Chain A
Amino acid sequence: MAMGYSEKVRDHFANPRNVGKLENADGIGEVGNAVCGDIMKIYLKIDGDIITDVRFNTFGCGAAIATSSMATEMIKGKPISEALQLTNHAVVEALDGLPPAKLHCSVLAEEAVKAAVADYYRKKGLPIPEACVASCGGDCGHCCG
């Protein structure tokens, strides 16, 4: 098994779910940067308060692609309030774990979802809920700069 990746990580890497973009997305969140080696971009379609569709584009390692795929699966069809409850730990758990050096990828996935929801509120001209800040408080030191 490469890099100590679980079967689920390998599956989500080999067959990523919800890859792509959404035209006229209601919210788009992009986090990370190319210098660090990973960028995630999440597109949301929102109807009422339900996330009816979601897509992602990711530049990054196997774990980055797998966490993006899993995170999109976990919020698809869910109310916004539930999507905002998504933590990086929940993503890691759903993937049956990640190697320690790859945990930052799950943080990125959580941040990307929250950034996309924040963008939705911004576009609507509504106040951005506090829950849009990542669970680590944005102080997770994920990037090498």
Chain B
Amino acid sequence: MKKIIYMDNAATTSTGRAALDAMIPVLEREYGNPSSLHQLGQQAADLLADARKRVAACIGAQPDEIYFTSGGTESDNWAITQLARTGAAKGKKHIISTAFEHHAVLHTLKRLEKEGFEVTLLDVHQDGIVRVDELKAAIRPDTCLVTVMYANNEIGTIQPIAEIGAVCREQGILFHTDAVQAVGHLPIDVVKENIDLMSMSAHKFHGPKGIGALYCRRGIRLTNFIEGGAQERNRRGGTENLPAICGMAAALENACSGMEERSKTVSAMRDRIIDEVVQNIPYVRVNGDREKRLPGNVNICFEGIEGESLLLRLDLEGICASSGSACTSGLLDPSHVLLAIGLPKEIAHGSLRLTLDEENTEEDVQHLLEVLPGIVSGLREMSPVWEEMMNKNS
């Protein structure tokens, strides 16, 4: 079998050794329910408390500010719907967000709009970065919540979170950030960055799937999203997924130790790919700011071709990538992220996202750079769009 080169780490990551080593003993032996008073239950409760403490420490939070959830989507839904309801109770029904949020945020906001909320989506400009002065200008007396993602999942651009947080704090508006792509990849300190609520997902940093957390700053009244037992300090019912929680804590600690070193290696591979593609393949566009960018994110549009066919051709070469293109998601419209940074639809269709991490090697990058130009020119040769572009230019 051909070697698989995995460059889709923003979709999900491999389950790391740290997570597996933490999870397997729990799966095998620690089956107690943390709510039980007997010794097996109490052992489980200790493991849960320890995991909570370690997750909190990785982001500069206190243990009682961490609520375990089923992942980023639930955390986003929880934070946004419940804070919106709290706002509405005070007559505040305006929310500020951005046009390129993850669907977990955008679709939640859509539903709130139907319920009578007003949503302002900030422009993310051509570089994929929100402007703090535009946020300031969008704030109204009835604004109850600002939700801006930490780093974008498609184009990797990092937002000025600390500044946004400072503005919100000053104005007395709650600030939530979907940090699913950032946690474990960028140094985060919720206190220094003025973050009130933050969504996290374990499988983006070599933890298991189906587990995540919501950080909610002390003193913020968070109402229940899932009703049930007294788990998560009465805030989220349901027996805790202890093996996954232990896996998440171990994976996050592992991701946060040696982050700087890893980030250097990964961003060097990222920059090599971007530089060589731009140099060797004509009519390409790099999407998103080159500096304020996640270490592993490459997002490039190849004019004249469609993203899914590029993705499938790469797959035939053993390279797992992703495309924000319409076809990949089963929709006809191209990526809302690429449209939000102002790309015309016909160009947005030709996007390729490669998301690297420390498991990738220079040999992987070399192989990619060897096969990519041929794949692109092969698809362009059979593309009527490319033919027309060339005819216009000749």
Contact = CB atoms under 8 A, between A and B. Distances in A.
Nearest to A13: B312
B361 interface: no
A61 B387 contact: no
Given A34-B349, A37-B349, A143-B332, A63 B327 contact: yes
Interface string A65-101: 1000000000000000000000000000000000101
A30 interface: yes
B384 A65 contact: no
Interface string B376-394: 0000001111110000000
A101 B330 contact: yes
| Ranked 5 nearest A-B pairs via Cβ | A61-B327, A34-B346, A101-B330, A61-B308, A144-B332
B346 A62 contact: no
Contact of B330 (A38, A65, A99): A99
B77 interface: no
Contacts of B383: 39, 57-59
A101 B331 contact: yes
Given A2-B315, A59-B305, 16 more contacts: A13-B309, A13-B312, A14-B316, A34-B385, A37-B306, A58-B382, A58-B383, A59-B304, A59-B306, A59-B385, A65-B309, A65-B382, A99-B330, A104-B332, A143-B332, A144-B326
A41 interface: yes
A64 interface: yes
Given A58-B384, A59-B386, A35 B345 contact: yes
Interface residues of A, number: 32
B382 A62 contact: no
A37 B331 CA distance: 10
Contacts of B227: none
Interface string B314-342: 01100000000111101111100000000
A30 B387 CA distance: 13
A131 interface: no
B169 to A, nearest CB: 41
Contacts of A35: 344-346
Contacts of A63: 327
A76 B340 CA distance: 44
A128 interface: no
Contacts of A104: 332
15 contacts: A2-B315, A3-B328, A35-B345, A37-B306, A37-B327, A37-B345, A37-B349, A57-B384, A58-B384, A59-B305, A60-B309, A61-B306, A61-B325, A64-B306, A102-B327
Interface of A: 2-3, 13-14, 16, 19-20, 30, 34-41, 56-65, 99, 101-102, 104, 143-144
A2 B308 CA distance: 10
- Give the size category of B's interface with A: 20 to 34
Given A57-B384, A58-B382, A37 B315 contact: no
A64 B326 CA distance: 13
Interface in B294-311: 304-309
Contacts of A13: 309, 312
Contacts of A37: 306, 325-327, 332, 334, 345-346, 349
Given A37-B326, A37-B327, A60 B306 contact: yes
B13 to A, nearest CB: 20
Could you say which of A38, A59, A101 has the most chain B C-beta atoms within 10 Å of its C-beta?
A59
B385 A39 contact: yes
Contacts of B304: 59
A39 B382 CA distance: 11
Contact of A61 (B309, B333, B384, B385): B309
A30 B388 CA distance: 12
Contacts of B305: 59
Nearest to A62: B312
Contacts of A16: 382
B326 A39 contact: no
Contact of A19 (B308, B333, B382): B382
